[in-house]
Amino acid sequence: MGSELTYKKAGVDIGEGERFVSLISPMVKETFRHEVMTDIGSFSALFKLDITGYKEPVLVSGTDGVGTKLKIAFMMDRHDTVGIDLVAMCVNDILTSGAEPLFFLDYFATGRLKPEKAAEVIEGIAEGCKEAGCSLIGGETAEMPGFYSEGEYDLSGFAVGVVEKDKIIDGSDIKEGDVVIGVASSGLHSNGYSLVRKLFFDIKKMDVATYIAEIGTSLGEELLKPTRIYVKAFNAIRDKIRVKGMAHITGGGIPGNLPRILPEGVCANIRHGSWPVHTIFKIIEDVGNVPYEDMKKTFNMGIGYIMVVPGNASEDAVTTLNRAGYKAFIIGEIEKGGKGVRYS
């Protein structure tokens, strides 16, 4: 008889999976809100809708991934930041409805599970959940030999939040004279990395260790900066100033995302030079000879989140956000016109 074939010999080590769960349990439990009813390791996660302050709660959900930014993590062999990106991409989306993030679930898939490396990823997810004020109540770890390249993995997530029905923010009452407030991004966030990798690594033959004097850090460190989470920014302003609409500036930039919250009959006039553009975007544009129109439609260009407020509240909004630790700028106005964005 030939040698026995086991699941472990086929590439899946259940023991390593169990060790991984033991590694992440303490950090996951640190994210638990009081509404969490199940411990890590259950077949499903229970969350009690015992949420004070809501009379007619509406659940808001969103899902996303990190995209090819993961390739930078592989190149750097650094995995403690992409989990923050994952949470940010999900909670920033549901936040646009005015939702309070409640809980988060992740999906981590790899060819061969390396518990310490995977735990670094979960550490970032837990950090993002704490920043957003939500619980990491569950997830799935899939080990799929032969499906992923050695040392690589994929990452996706799912967030659920809650908002009072009569306080849902959908942009429907945005009107002429309202003001567009831009809240600064931390850098590239998690979009445009296919262009970025093509430029720096394929065309320019640069390395993640290449020092970029204009930025004062290595290329890899800059590209791995986590996506900013804007939950605390909204919390700082929600009870003080009426926010009519919010947009998470992801792939498509401001022109591709801001129109999603504008009602018919109005457009946003965005003013050039009304906020500082991060150096990394200028480098990409110059080094890659990327047309400015493409830059605007691919990257956030330094604005990661937008809030639309009444004109007479705009200065207070900026002041409040700045005091909360978020750089904010008046970047435009709402005008009559065809639904969309124009620059002046």
DSSP 213-277: TTTTEEHHHHHTPPPPP-HHHHHHHTTTS---EEEE--TTHHHHHGGGGPPTTEEEEEPTTSSPP
pLDDT of residue 338: 87
- Which comes out higher in pLDDT, residue 342 or 15? 342
Beginning with the edge strand found earlier in the chain, give each strand of the sheet holding 328-336 in spatial order: 245-248, 303-309, 179-184, 328-336, 266-270, 341-343
| CA–CA separation, 265 and 131 (whole Å) | 37
Give the tens place of pLDDT for each residue, 267-279.
999 999 999 999 9
What SS3 state is found at 320? helix
Give me the residues paired with residue 211 across strands. 218
In the chain the domains, ranked by start, together with CATH numbers, are: 14-167 (3.30.1330.10), 179-343 (3.90.650.10)
Backbone φ and ψ of 308, nearest 5°:
-105, 125
* pLDDT at residue 41 tops 80: no
Does 39 or 246 have the greater pLDDT score?
A: 246
Asked whether the predicted pLDDT for residue 1 surpasses 60, the reply is no
pLDDT confidence tier of residue 2, bands split at 50, 70 and 90 = low
Q: Could you tell me whether strands 100-110 and 135-143 are parallel, antiparallel, or unpaired per DSSP bridges?
A: parallel
pLDDT at 242: 96
pLDDT-derived band at 6, boundaries 50, 70, 90 = low
Q: How much is the mean pLDDT over the chain?
A: 92
Element (H, E) at 334: strand 328-336
Burial of 155 (0-12, 13-18, 19+ CB in 10 A): buried
State the pLDDT at residue 5: 58
